[in-house]
Amino acid sequence: MIKLDHVSKNFGPEKKAVNDISFEVHPGETLVLLGTSGCGKTTTLRMINRLLEADSGHIFVNGKEIKTLAPELLRRNIGYVLQNTGLFPHYTVSENIGIVPALLNWDKTRIRERTITLMDKLRLPAAGYSNVYPHQLSGGQQQRVGLARALAADAPVLLMDEPFGALDPLTRISVRREFKALDELNNKTIILVTHDVEEAFELGNRICLMNEGRIQQLGAPLELLFHPANDFVRSFLDPQRLQLELKALKIKDLWTWIPDKPATTDNARLLTAENSCWEALDAITSQPVTVMHNQAKKIIDGNGLMEAVAAYKQ
Ligand SMILES: Nc1ncnc2c1ncn2[C@@H]1O[C@H](COP(=O)(O)OP(=O)(O)OP(=O)(O)O)[C@@H](O)[C@H]1O
């Protein structure tokens, strides 16, 4: 769906902001670009919708080299969400959301219906918020409008640059949770930029960890955690390692090592093997949980789960 082939970008003679990077993003996948400030994440993202031109290399969207497409045509297939939302202050919420469909000449009724649908899905009911201006909204609400605007024309590709970056930590967690649950995003191909490791692990199918314009490792969360490509990757994840491991490991990953405890009548809470260890520990609190996997049933308590994590890591 999106392919970068030996792409570089230089802003001055000294060092390359993006230095010979290649990756592919598969249809329906969420790829997170993660890394420290200045490592080239935003530059990479902005080259994909041609807000910046690559100095060398090739970028393909849907099989077409983007250099051969008019930028306006390219951007019709690409929604873009920015950290500071980029909402037009003198447009109402519904006008902001309807901008791209209007550019695409949708008729007024269709734009109105689409806007109302998205506002409902993003918990900004049109009756209360349609005619409100961005400055009358909280940061979290503005961010939802920014997301609705990027989704309005139903583009198959979504580029998101620190979409939750301007929010306080609590709002950030709740908006992120809503984002994950949004059915509008189900089949979209998403590239999301963040410097927040936890966010990357929560939202990414795969993570592309960058440093100084180069890719250090691109892989699934478990690969980065348990098979780091180099010392940079290892030390980048170290501060939050245990939490990340518990969130990335699913019960099914540990199934072999989870001891089988005898069932008691109290083991009522049922989880699936798709639940993470973190979710399981959260659910276990005072009593074990029951998990079904491949037609087998296990009763899991906190000690058993942590023993299985330790065994998996050996
Ligand atoms: N328009 C520009 N002119 C000159 N240098 C730039 C420009 N945009 C980015 N850079 C430089 O290119 C490098 C990569 O910047 P980029 O914004 O892509 O990093 P980033 O990983 O997104 O960082 P952040 O998380 O802080 O936004 C940095 O050294 C930055 O200073």
- Percent of the chain with pLDDT strictly greater than 70: 98
Assess whether pLDDT exceeds 90 at residue 13. no
Distance (angstroms) between ligand 1 centre and the Cα of 40 equals: 6
Residues 6 or more apart in contact with residue 219 via CB below 8 angstroms: 206, 207, 227
Query: What's the pLDDT tens digit per position in 132-163?
Result: 999 999 888 888 899 899 899 889 999 999 98
Distance CA(6)–CA(213), nearest Å, equals 12
Q: Per DSSP, which regions of the chain are E strands? A: 2-10, 16-25, 30-35, 56-61, 64-65, 78-81, 157-161, 189-194, 206-211, 214-219, 270-272, 289-293, 296-300
User: What's this model's pTM, rounded to 2 decimal places?
Assistant: 0.90
Distance (angstroms) between ligand 1 centre and the Cα of 17 equals: 7
DSSP state of 189: E
Domains present along the chain, CATH in parentheses:
2-246 (3.40.50.300), 250-313 (3.90.1280)
- When pLDDT is cut at 50, 70 and 90, the band that residue 269 belongs to is confident
Distance (angstroms) between ligand 1 centre and the Cα of 13 equals: 14
> Which ipTM was obtained for this model?
0.95
Please calculate the CA angle 84-179-150 and round it to the nearest 5 degrees: 50
Instruction: State the pLDDT at residue 259.
Output: 86
Q: Which atom of ligand 1 is nearest to the CA of 43?
A: 18
109 Cβ below 6 A of ligand 1: no
Q: What ranges in 137-168 are assigned the alpha helix state H?
A: 139-151
Residue 112's H or E segment, with its range, is helix 108-121
Residue 171 phi, psi (nearest 5): -60, -40
For atom 26 of ligand 1, the residue with the nearest CA is 37
36 Cβ below 6 A of ligand 1: no
Closest CA to 78 of 59, 93, 92, 55: 59
Distance (angstroms) between ligand 1 centre and the Cα of 158 equals: 21
Distance (angstroms) between ligand 1 centre and the Cα of 11 equals: 9
Ramachandran assignment for 285, one of left (phi > 0), alpha (psi -120 to 50 degrees), beta (any other): left
The neighbour count for residue 170, using CB atoms within 10 Å, is 9
